[in-house]
Amino acid sequence: WDLTGKALGLPVCQLLGGACREEIPAYVSGLPVEGLQEKVDLALSWKDQGFRAIKLHIGYGMEEDLRIMTALRKALGPDFKLMMDAHWNYTAAQAVKLARKLEALEVEFLECPLNPEDLNGYAELAAAVDIPVALGESDRTHWQFKDIFDKQSCDIAQPDIGRCGITEMMRIADLAELYGRPVAPHLSVGQAGCIAATLHCDAAMYNFYGMQEYQPSIAPVANEFLTRPIVCENGYLRLPEGPGLGIEFEEDKIRYHSVEGGTACE
């Protein structure tokens, strides 16, 4: 996709049908500090920088998870969006109990509380609670997502472009639209190419969820190897400009961190 765009002088989002948006709302993914007050303080600092949504990476047990989410809701106010990624730490029955308590905190979605293979458990959860259930980061094909949609195992689809690629991402999005599901692409430790590709799909996707996961600890590392950085300001990710994915790598910096022959990295 990148090479084709560069050959034609077109950005990838145009090859995918055209951009519906050039600035993409971002949510902060994770508050990687110890202690409840430290988490609250970090969340407030992101709010001061223009972000209006945060996803917590928790799963410490129901009581602790609820304690953290309650403190954040109190500190950030009712208009700030909160999501929760439980990292496969609960059973279906436990997740139902947790989700019902999260509903009172107006949590936007509950991500991956069960093992990713437990589609029947996810279907039970999604049917039992009002809070949307998000699923799909570990899956690679639209056939896998068809199973998820057929079993009504999620409310929000979360394919990861680092696993499925641009072509399959858009197939998944088209399939999700048929089932009436929005797509919120997962974006974790992927570097610059992965981030840029995700943003181009976000821009072209008709049923985009409306917020893109943003990893503050990963973005500076990714940008270190680019001639022009991928920009996130005031809570928005900016679509990289230019043909293809709109990014160019600093090859000298890549060489500096590599060993001839690719046998090791320093």
Whether 265 has a pLDDT exceeding 50, the answer reads no
- What's the pLDDT score for residue 260? 64
User: Across residues 206-214, what is the average pLDDT?
Assistant: 97
Closest residue by Cα to residue 169 from 177, 222, 214: 177
User: Across residues 140-159, what is the average pLDDT?
Assistant: 98
Q: Spell out the residues 6+ positions from residue 22 whose beta carbon is closer than 8 angstroms to its own.
A: 203, 238, 239
Note the residue count of the chain: 266
Q: Which of the four pLDDT bands, split at 50, 70 and 90, describes residue 261?
A: low
User: Across residues 25-41, what is the average pLDDT?
Assistant: 96
Q: Which of the four pLDDT bands, split at 50, 70 and 90, describes residue 22?
A: confident
User: Across residues 145-156, what is the average pLDDT?
Assistant: 98
Closest residue by Cα to residue 240 from 52, 74, 14: 14
Q: Rounded mean pLDDT of the chain?
A: 95
pTM over 0.75: yes
Catalytically annotated residue among 87, 142, 186, 257:
186
Q: Which of the four pLDDT bands, split at 50, 70 and 90, describes residue 266?
A: very low
Burial of 102-121, coded b for 16+ CB within 10 Å and e otherwise, reads beebebbbbbbbbeeebbeb
Secondary structure of residue 146 in the 3-state scheme: helix
User: Across residues 191-198, what is the average pLDDT?
Assistant: 97
Does the annotation mark 257 as catalytic? Answer: no
Residues 254, 260, 261, 263: is their CA dihedral positive or negative? negative
Whether 155 has a pLDDT exceeding 90, the answer reads yes
User: Across residues 28-33, what is the average pLDDT?
Assistant: 96
* Own/partner long-range contacts of 232-235 (Cβ < 8 Å, ≥24 apart): 232/26, 233/50, 234/49, 234/50, 235/25, 235/26, 235/49, 235/50, 235/51, 235/52, 235/53
Whether 259 has a pLDDT exceeding 80, the answer reads no
Whether 244 has a pLDDT exceeding 70, the answer reads yes
User: Across residues 98-113, what is the average pLDDT?
Assistant: 97
Whether 82 has a pLDDT exceeding 60, the answer reads yes
